[in-house]
Amino acid sequence: MKNDTTKKLTGKVAVVTGASKGIGAGIAKHLAAEGAAVVVNYSSSKEGADRVVKEIVKDGGKAVAVQANVAKKADIDRLFAETKKAYGQLDILVNNAGVYEFLPLEQVTEDHFHKQFNLNVLGLILTTQEAVKYFGAAGGSIINISSAASTMAPPSASVYSATKGAVDTVTKSLAKELGARKIRVNAINPGMIETEGVHAGGFAESDFRKQIEAQTPLGRIGQTDDIAPTAVYLASEDSKYMTGETVVLAGGMR
């Protein structure tokens, strides 16, 4: 562990949505290692969130787990009320919670559409709407986890890619809207990252993975620790003049 004077986020409070596993868990741990007190949000995986909190605390950091489905306004309100109760302030929001489902056009349904848009887009907007009420006069940083799919738009991902294209646009628009309040809004667009979700979805050993690796200049899919340091950068004063940007982290794949 670094000492407090060399940590970039000492005295800051961060909420990371969907942080019980995968990219969100990696970001939560890295923010905590840099001195932030972290609210590890989860929707259903209490066990995963508790494990992330335990790891952070074991390493000398501060964290609490808070359940909330960020596709629901009442849950979002409770998430930030609990954050205020635990830590008294908010400086960093990482909108990481999301869902993906790939289906060919013939199989797209209203449910398939709404499930992804309600969480990936509406949930992100409503979470941000509530969070900005808690930022202080010094402003803060909002980091939206988008996806390289927003521009690569793979086949059978019309709805998912559309949600992430929306996230990129929302990021730019909110950066302009919130800049006067010293709130910066940026997005990270990961390529294929090896997470529990990728394994559960059957992508980890798939031909799709091999195809991605073949097209990626760095020759591999990503790991969560390929993403988290950039989130720390965007959360910290190192990026104080940066807003409205989308940072693609996909090993050079375009």
Each residue of 203-241: pLDDT tens digit? 778 888 899 999 999 999 999 999 999 999 999 999 999
Q: Give me the pLDDT at residue 206, please.
A: 85
* Residue 200 lies inside a defined structural domain of this protein: no
**Angstrom distance (rounded) from CA 138 to CA 5:** 20
Q: Give me the pLDDT at residue 73, please.
A: 98
In this predicted structure, the answer to whether residue 101 has a pLDDT above a threshold of 70 is yes
Contacts of 68-71 with C-beta under 8 Å, sequence gap 24+, read: 68/17, 68/41, 68/43, 69/43, 70/17, 70/18, 70/41, 70/43, 70/97, 70/119, 70/123, 70/124, 70/126, 70/127, 71/118, 71/119, 71/122, 71/123
Of the candidates 34, 4, 3, which has an alpha carbon nearest to the alpha carbon of residue 13? Answer: 34
**Angstrom distance (rounded) from CA 66 to CA 24:** 14
* Residue 202 lies inside a defined structural domain of this protein: no
**Residue type, position 228, single letter:** A
What pLDDT band is residue 198 in, cutting at 50, 70 and 90? confident
pLDDT per position as a tens digit, 144-164: 999 999 999 999 999 999 999
Domain range holding 133? 4-190+225-241
* Residue 249 lies inside a defined structural domain of this protein: no
* Residue 218 lies inside a defined structural domain of this protein: no
In this predicted structure, the answer to whether residue 44 has a pLDDT above a threshold of 70 is yes
- The structural domain count of the chain equals 1
**Number of other residues whose CB lies within 10 A of the CB of residue 44:** 10
The two tokens of residue 121 are: 């887009």
* Mean pLDDT in residue range 134-144: 98
- CA distances to 46, 62, 98 from 226, rounded to whole Å, are 25, 23, 19
In this predicted structure, the answer to whether residue 136 has a pLDDT above a threshold of 90 is yes
What pLDDT band is residue 244 in, cutting at 50, 70 and 90? very high
- Percent of the chain exceeding pLDDT 90 equals 91
* Residue 121 lies inside a defined structural domain of this protein: yes
* Residue 210 lies inside a defined structural domain of this protein: no
Query: Considering the entire predicted model, what is its pTM?
Result: 0.96
Mean pLDDT of the chain: 95
* Residue 214 lies inside a defined structural domain of this protein: no
- Percent of the chain exceeding pLDDT 70 equals 99
CA angle 108, 110, 111 (to 5 degrees): 95
Which residue is catalytic, options 87, 160, 233, 241?
160
Q: Give me the pLDDT at residue 183, please.
A: 98
pLDDT per position as a tens digit, 5-21: 789 999 999 999 999 99
**Number of other residues whose CB lies within 10 A of the CB of residue 212:** 22
Is 42 one of the annotated active-site residues of the chain? no
- Looking up residue 39, the CATH number of its domain turns out to be 3.40.50.720
* Mean pLDDT in residue range 87-105: 97
In this predicted structure, the answer to whether residue 172 has a pLDDT above a threshold of 70 is yes
Greater confidence (197 vs 39) lies with: 39
* Residue 205 lies inside a defined structural domain of this protein: no
**String of DSSP letters for 113-163:** HHHHHIIIIIIHHHHHHHHTTTBBTTBEEEEEE--THHHH--TT-HHHHHH
Task: Assess contact for 114 and 163: CB atoms under 8 A.
Answer: no
Task: Assess contact for 181 and 139: CB atoms under 8 A.
Answer: yes
In this predicted structure, the answer to whether residue 242 has a pLDDT above a threshold of 90 is yes
